[in-house]
Structure 1
Amino acid sequence: MSQRKVILLLGSNIKNPKKNIEEAILLINKHLGNVIKKSKMLETEPVEFVSSNNFCNIALSLETDFSPIQILKKAKEIERYMGRVLDSRDLGGYEDRVIDVDIVAIGNLSYQSKMLNLPHHRHLFVRNFSRKILEDLGENIEKYKNIQI
């Protein structure tokens, strides 16, 4: 299988968020694919829920030969390994978390399932903090507008 460019967004807002992000990057490099570029870390207030804990966020670009579902499974395994028990889908909303690994895009792939929709519309076009770190990563967000989901 050929290498795919994958864009991930990571976020953490409990325990030691910066350390959690750094640990997640190491695990991603080891189990998911070669991280080729990172944005600067950005501290933000929680979005779509209330918490006194601010988030540390970062965008990553990596190369992998895994399929979209394999990438999702590996990302969820990393979240569980680091101590995340429930996903926002399980909870029906958002809460504080040790780590969140979101898949924003896999190349120019359009993918839709119950578990995964690509590209990730909210991160690309709705959430300002996401746009900021994706632009810092060097991503041309506008190119994703033409990908039909």
Structure 2
Amino acid sequence: MSYNDVILLLGSNINNPEKNIEIALEKIENQAGAILNKSELIITKPVEFESYNNFCNIAIKLKTHFSPIKLLSEMKAIEKSMGRVSDSAALGAYRDRIIDIDIILYNNIKFISKRLIIPHYKNLYERDFAKRIINELK
């Protein structure tokens, strides 16, 4: 069985964000693969929407045997199990969320489908906070 190196970015800004990140990391490791490395946990202001709730963010390097689409399905299942009811892509807008898990890089591939685009352009190239913690893992 082949394994893939993946970088994920997690964020939470409601209902005890640090604890939400901790729970999500445990679920990821139990359901998707081994966490090889973690960035520092940082606090950031919301990006691209207004909120009084700051985010906790962390980037992780994961080793998984899942395909990109299977990994996306698992991450969406984790978000849903933690209480996230709507996805930003479906809403067409950002809002406060209990957990958000983005697939940033998957090996060195480019992957484009209706549900998923890898690499995740905004987090790799436009959002300074994301670039900083993602670069900790490279």
Asked if TM exceeds 0.5, the reply is: yes
1:90 to partner: Cα distance: 1.3
Structure 1: unaligned runs, 5 residues or longer: 140-149
- In structure 1, distance between residues paired with 2:132 and 2:28: 22
Match of 1:77, SS state, is: helix
Cα deviation per residue 1:59-88 (whole Å; 9 max; x = unaligned)?
A: 000100000000000000000000000000
Match of 1:48, SS state, is: coil
Q: How does 1:18-33 map to 2 (within 5 A)?
A: 18-33=18-33
Q: TM-score, normalised by structure 2?
A: 0.98
Q: How does 1:1-149 map to 2 (within 5 A)?
A: 1-137=1-137, 139=138
Q: TM-score, normalised by structure 1?
A: 0.91
Residue 25 of structure 1 aligns with an amino acid whose one-letter code is L
Runs in 1 of length 4+ with deviation above 2 angstroms? none
1:136 to partner: Cα distance: 2.2
Match of 2:59, SS state, is: strand
Residue 133 of structure 2 aligns with an amino acid whose one-letter code is I
Q: Which has the higher contact order (CA 8 A, sep 6+)?
A: 2
User: What value does the CA root-mean-square deviation take over the aligned residues?
Assistant: 0.6
The size of the alignment, in residue pairs, is 138
Structure 2: unaligned runs, 5 residues or longer: none
1:40 to partner: Cα distance: 0.4
- In structure 2, distance between residues paired with 1:94 and 1:124: 18
